[in-house]
Amino acid sequence: TRTIDLAVVAGDGIGTEVVEQGLAVLEAAVAGSDVKVSTTPFDLGARRWHATGETLTDADLDAIRGHDAILLGAIGDPSVPSGVLERGLLLKLRFALDHYVNLRPGKLYPGVTSPLADPGEIDFVVVREGTEGPYVGNGGSLRTGTPHEIATEVSLNTAFGVERVVRDAFARAQARPRKHLTLVHKHNVLVHAGHLWRRTVEAVNAEFPDVTTDYLHVDAATIFLTTKPSRFDVIVTDNLFGDILTDQAAAITGGIGLAASANINPDRTAPSMFEPVHGSAPDIAGQGKADPTATVLSVALLLDHLGLGDEAKRVEATVAADLAERGSRVRSTAEVGRELAARVAG
């Protein structure tokens, strides 16, 4: 028997609801095999912060490090000042655990309605850098609150950080039928970081000669995501551009209720973390309305990362079958989870 030691950070709002269903599908996927799942819940998020003032302590982080993977629901609550949990918990996890590949598939499954009139075939992955860029918190505010305030957010891009994520993106492109990589940046304006990214893609391309590449400025990329998303195979981009593009990717492929993500540490020096792209949705929290599909698809990414490729494919195929039949049927969070779990168990 092999045991998956899973750290569970259900978090805030609908996070707890969707994670419960994600875990049910995970259990169903390994049922009858020699793989067992052992879960450790972590009380992190708004409740903990209100009770203790803590977001993520060193002890929490050490305990999480001992696990094989992390399943995360959602972080954030209107009762907590903006940025406290985002920076102190979610981004702290991504940074501390070196999740430099933030993998976000953009796939339009049959039966899912896209808001695009003629979406064509949409099947790409965004490799969003996860540990650098404007997200590092490098900057500050002078003369805060005065008419003379000066605020800076300095984007950090290191050759080391860019190269490792670009190499990962090339490897992913090489493993896909179309073998195409698009770098998205804005090197006509952000000349320092932009040219580092451009030069890095050029240099690493030599290691992957069968991968074709092209380049789009981020503004143009948003146009193509709307007018011709089928042109994309693998996109590599920085942390902030990737954040924005993956919300657009979710929107054109059926909405954030379906968008999965993996925060991967490819070197496996720490556990990777799997989470739906959506947030805590306080407006619908506690009502059993949230779609757990994005979390279930994140569970498929988790299984794949842990080397359980067959189980991962079964979970994804189950979601695809459910989506194909779903139509306009309205089901609760638990109903969707229960039906997916039953189907995965077979």
Binding at 235: pick from Mn ion, ligand IPM, none (beta carbon under 5-8 Å per type): none
Binding at 162: pick from Mn ion, ligand IPM, none (beta carbon under 5-8 Å per type): none
Minimal distance, residue 168 CB to Mn ion, in Å: 20
Binding mask 233-272 for ligand IPM (x = CB under 6 A): ----------x-----------------------------
Q: Residue 337, annotated ligand binder? A: no
Between 75 and 108, CB nearer to ligand IPM:
75
Strand order in the sheet with 123-129: 35-41, 2-11, 69-74, 272-276, 260-264, 101-107, 123-129, 234-237, 180-185, 212-217
Active site residues: 135, 186, 219, 243, 247
Task: Please tell me the count of residues contacting ligand IPM according to CB under 6 A.
Answer: 6
Binding at 339: pick from Mn ion, ligand IPM, none (beta carbon under 5-8 Å per type): none
Q: Residue 76, annotated ligand binder? A: no
Q: Residue 289, annotated ligand binder? A: yes
Pick the piece of the chain touching ligand IPM (CB under 6 A) from 23-31, 86-94, 224-232, 305-313: 86-94
Between 258 and 308, CB nearer to Mn ion:
258
Q: What is the 3-state secondary structure (H, E, C) of the chain?
A: CEEEEEEEEEECCCHHHHHHHHHHHHHHHHCCCCEEEEEEECCCCHHHHHHHCCCCCHHHHHHHHCCCEEEEEECCCCCCCCCHHHHHHHHHHHHHCCCCEEEEEEECCCCCCCCCCCCCCCEEEEEEECCCEHHHCCEEEECCCCCCCEEEECCECCHHHHHHHHHHHHHHHHCCCCCEEEEEECCCCCHHHHHHHHHHHHHHHCCCCCCEEEEEEHHHHHHHHHHCHHHCCEEEECHHHHHHHHHHHHHHCCCCCCCEEEEECCCCCCCEEEEECCCCCCCCCCCCCCCCHHHHHHHHHHHHHCCCHHHHHHHHHHHHHHHHHHCCCCCCHHHHHHHHHHHHHC
Find all residues with CB under 8 Å of 231, minimum gap 6, and list them: 224
Minimal distance, residue 263 CB to ligand IPM, in Å: 9
Binding test (CB under 6 A) with ligand IPM, winner from 80, 90, 256, 270: 90
Minimal distance, residue 86 CB to ligand IPM, in Å: 4
Minimal distance, residue 12 CB to ligand IPM, in Å: 11
Q: Residue 45, annotated ligand binder? A: no
Q: Residue 283, annotated ligand binder? A: yes
Q: Residue 247, annotated ligand binder? A: yes
Binding test (CB under 6 A) with ligand IPM, winner from 7, 18, 91, 256: 91
Minimal distance, residue 334 CB to Mn ion, in Å: 26
Q: Residue 314, annotated ligand binder? A: no
Binding test (CB under 5 A) with Mn ion, winner from 60, 132, 243, 322: 243
Please, are residues 273 and 240 in contact by the beta-carbon 8 Å criterion?
Answer: no
Asked if residue 300 binds ligand IPM (CB under 6 A), the reply is no
Asked if residue 77 binds ligand IPM (CB under 6 A), the reply is no
Summarize as ranges the residues that interact with ligand IPM (CB under 6 A). Answer: 76, 86, 90-91, 243, 277
Binding-site residue numbers for substrate are: 94, 104, 128, 219
Binding-site residue numbers for NAD(+) are: 279-291
Binding-site residue numbers are: 94, 104, 128, 219, 243, 247, 279-291
